[in-house]
Structure 1
Amino acid sequence: MKFKKQLFGFQDMLRFKKLVPNRRAALAAGPDTPLPKSYRTNELAHRLHPGYMEVELTAVRPLSANMTELTFRRVDETAFPFFRAGQYVSLQAEVDGSLVSRPYSIASSPRDALAGKLVLGIERAGFFSEYLCTRAKPGDRMRMTEPSGEFHYETLRDKHRIVGIAGGSGITPLLSMARSMAEGDEDYEMTLFYGARDTRHLAYSAELADLAVKGLRVVQVLSDEEKDGYEHGFISAQLMEKYVDLTDVTFFLCGPQAMYNFVLKELEPYHLPLKAVHKDATCCGALNLEAPRTFRLTVHMRDAVHTVDAREDETLLAAMERAGLDAPNKCRAGGCGFCHSKWLKGEFRIADGRDGRREADRKFGFIHPCVTYPLSDLEIDVPVAE
């Protein structure tokens, strides 16, 4: 509405008195067409961010001596949401009376997601991963979160040439990135260093060979075996310099903590900026304590109150899951904030280097149960997983 200020103030007041009748007249003159029940913007938002998804396992395939590939389809929709290559999903299922979930990086490409297929490569290590690799079968139904995570390429931040360094199951997000590059959805040049003890522990050899024809540069490194066509030893700076200029690339690391420690030490002499090296987060596990105490954890979840046992060496999230509580979680590394909960009473400690809370969260007593351990009886308020 155009409004021109009048010369005398009282004239503005007279016009203001007519404002309500004018609005009523405009509303009365409007059409009586019913409002739509669903808006396209909301429908698009739901497709991109569905929250939890119901999925079914469609195929199980051995990959290496200690890795298995699981392929899923959605039950509640026909397609998975589009994601950034390198991201992860959190998979949830009931195992032996406990509700268990873990994050797993996606091995398939974003285009596969739109075609209704999502693939995870899982290493047989840990309670839930052991179950998925040895007991899960086609037809099993589980719950999965939407893709999440900051481990992906950013045009404005990262160099055009990137170096992927993978160890063990750390190949999965880097394989997704290589596939996205080959399909033309990402614009970068990629060199991939993939380390394992021997050829028995290398996964996706055929897929990597196919991607090498499409532009991916693959260097496979064996620490315990010498074989033609493979580098021998560890992924050191000296080895990488044979293939790339380490001062003009962005690094993406995914693997065990020992690999991170070694590679970061190797890169120290190059004085690279912080943004030049990205590490995929690993789950926060149990503490190594000789005689862990057991405390009582009181959990408020909306209108319900639960009391469960919580050991000093396990995270609050692990204690809740062991008791069968459906506590929200995604990264299990303290970074995403999805398990953001209110501390009410008791003492706790947070895993070293895992405190990803904002300053306001610390001030007003919020915690991330996935990286928090009890030091006494505790009381917390946890959101309902929806």
Structure 2
Amino acid sequence: MENLLPKARQIEFHPLKLAKKQELTKTTFALEFEIPLNLSSQYHFEAGQYVTLQFLSDGNLVQKDFSMTSAPHEGKITLGIKISSEESFANSLFNNLEVGDDVQVSEPRGRFTLISKPHEFRTIVGFAGGIGITPILSHFKNILHTEPRTRLFLFYGNKNKRQVAFKNELDELVNQYPDRLEIHYFYSQEKLGNGLFEGRLNAKKVALIINQILQLDDTDEESTIWDAVDEVLICGKGEMIKSIANACYKHGIPKKNIHFELFEEFNEDIFPIEKEFPLMENIEVDFKLFNKEYKTTLNNNKMRLLQQLLIQKFPVPYSCKSGICGSCECILEEGEVELLENEYLTEKEEASGKILACMSVVLSKNIKVNFDLI
């Protein structure tokens, strides 16, 4: 989870002491922060959430989001971070932070979460690409700790074996829970002699996984493991998420049980839009953002509200553009929009008038929205 743009909602930061810095691979590392007793309530979190680090980089104050790998019962915040280039914010963190330093860390947030069901028999499948393992690792550690009847299957893709982040920790989990956790690794740039595990995780791989790995179920001889899947977790790049999510849906998993977290900007819909909308032209838009009032006109409603405001150079906060991160959440005060399927807003929030600008198709000649959520 990453976001470099300012957000309309206030983020609360506190200084946390860096307790550990560990290089995982040549391009990934982990940071572990202590949670002091006086801040324990502020840093209570759910598996799958993220925090924002605020850090001075090249004279500029930068904020960036990172998913936690730690589970709530561990009593600490651990982040997995990828270095994309020598000029990146992540590389600056790795080179300049030392154990014992105080770092401005936001209070946890995010909605890549699951409802805990400790008394049920569940089957949960995870798909991770690269550093996308971070929130899924948090989920799996939490579920193994709190749900004794749940079994987990992880399919983890990387370029090669040398780039597998958190391999030791994953191996320890398999050794600790051999009857409940199964992990399979896939490599896009390494030959293994087995075509199933060579190449990227995508829709074709999902079909092979279903047919060759998630086959006969020892707990029910008349069905397969895939038939028993209750929830699917996906985290990685947009194309991977789109391909796998649609494959899972086509193979019988309801959309409401397919959860995903995006680690980069992605300008496409995860699931195809199956509805046509009436054309509206010359749409008047009033909106409040960072305590300023704005007015503009949209030529038509062929594009979503967020995309049109960004084209006009308004500083609207966003990260994914795909209804996942919630950065563009706002309140519809006047007018009508069609809110497309999204992974962020609850039914209660939608009923209260909240929308995501990135997933909103305008259906009236005038609308008024407020991005300044309290």
Q: Is TM > 0.5 for Structure 1 vs Structure 2?
A: yes
* Letter in structure 2 aligned against 1:145: E
Q: What is the letter of the counterpart of residue 223 of structure 1?
A: S
Is residue 339–residue 370 contact of structure 1 (8 Å, CA) maintained in 2?
Answer: yes
The aligned counterpart of 1:64 is 25
Unaligned runs of 5+ in 1: 1-50, 289-296, 322-328, 373-378
Q: 1:160 — aligned with what?
A: 122
Q: Distance in 1 between matches of 2:359 and 2:64?
A: 14
Letter of the 1:233 counterpart:
G
| Match of residue 130 from structure 1 | 88
Q: Shift of the alpha carbon at 1:262?
A: 2.7
Shift in Å, 1:205: 0.9
Of the three residues 48, 63, 71, the one matched with 1:86 is 48
SS of the equivalent of 1:178 reads: helix
Q: Decide whether the 8 Å contact of 1:121 with 1:172 is kept in 2.
A: yes
Matches within 5 A, 1:174-189: 174-182=136-144, 184-187=145-148, 188-189=150-151
Aligned residues: 309
Contact 1:222 1:233 in 2 (8 A): yes
Cα offsets for 1:9-61 (capped at 9, x unmatched): xxxxxxxxxxxxxxxxxxxxxxxxxxxxxxxxxxxxxxxxxx72413351322
User: Which one has the largest radius of gyration?
Assistant: 1
2:14 alignment counterpart:
54
| Aligned equivalent of 2:70, options 105, 108, 111 | 108
- The DSSP-based 3-state class of the residue aligned with 1:238 is helix
Is it true that 1:383 corresponds to 2:372 in the alignment?
A: yes
Per-residue deviation, 1:256: 1.3
Task: Return closer, same or farther for 1:172/1:361 CA change in 2, 3 Å cut-off.
Answer: closer
Q: Secondary structure at the match of 1:259?
A: helix
The aligned amino acid for 2:78 is V
What residue number does 1:325 align with? none
Which amino acid in the other structure matches residue 224 of structure 1? Q
Partner of 2:3: none
Name 1:260's counterpart in structure 2: 241
Q: Are the equivalent residues in 2 in contact too, given 1:145–1:330 (CA < 8 A)?
A: no
Q: Is the 8 A contact 2:316 2:328 kept in 1?
A: no
Give 2:276's aligned residue. none
**Aligned with 2:183 (options 183, 204, 218):** 218
C-alpha displacement of 1:198: 0.6
> What's the TM-score once normalised by structure 2's chain length?
0.62
Equivalents in 1 of 2:198, 2:141: separation in Å?
26
Deviations 1:159-190 (A, max 9, x none): 611111111111112212222244x3233111
Aligned equivalents of 2:289 and 2:125: distance in 1?
Answer: 45
Residues 41-85 of structure 1: CA distance to partner in whole angstroms, max 9, x if unpaired? xxxxxxxxxx72413351322222432212123468353644332
Which amino acid in 2 is paired with 1:152?
A: L
Per-residue Cα deviation, 1:231-268 (whole angstroms, up to 9, x for no partner): 32344121344332212113211111221233234435
Q: Which amino acid aligns with 1:122?
A: I
What letter corresponds to residue 79 of structure 2 in structure 1?
L
**d(CA) in 1 for partners of 2:143 and 2:345?**
33
User: Which stretch of structure 1 is more off in the superposition, 88-97 or 236-245?
Assistant: 88-97
**Residue 242, structure 1, aligned to residue 212, structure 2:** yes
Flag the 1:359–1:167 CA change in 2: closer, same or farther, 3 A: closer
Counterpart contact for 1:90–1:330, Cα < 8 Å = no
* Residue matched to 2:34: 73
- Secondary structure of the structure 2 residue equivalent to 1:170: helix
C-alpha displacement of 1:120: 0.9
Helix, strand or coil at the partner of 1:285: coil
Question: 1:231 pairs with 189, 197, 202, which one?
Answer: 197
In proportion to residue count, which structure has more strand? 2
Quote the residue 1:142 is aligned against.
104
Q: Distance in 1 between the 2:45 and 2:117 partners?
A: 16
Letter in 1 for 2:23: P
Partners in 1 of 2:155 and 2:325 — Cα distance? 28
Aligned-pair CA distance for 1:154: 4.0
> Is the contact between residue 281 and residue 333 of structure 1 (CA under 8 Å) also seen in structure 2?
no
1:199, distance to aligned residue in structure 2 (A): 1.1
In structure 2, distance between residues paired with 1:178 and 1:361 = 28
Q: Tell me the residue number matched to 2:275.
A: none
Q: Distance in 2 between matches of 1:318 and 1:92?
A: 24
Q: CA deviation at 1:350?
A: 11
Q: 1:279 to 1:102 in 2, by over 3 A?
A: farther
Change (3 A) 1:360 1:151: closer
Tell me which amino acid in the other structure corresponds to 1:209. Answer: D
Name the structure 2 match of 1:271. 252
Classify 1:239/1:380 alpha carbon distance in 2 versus 1 (closer, same or farther; 3 Å).
closer
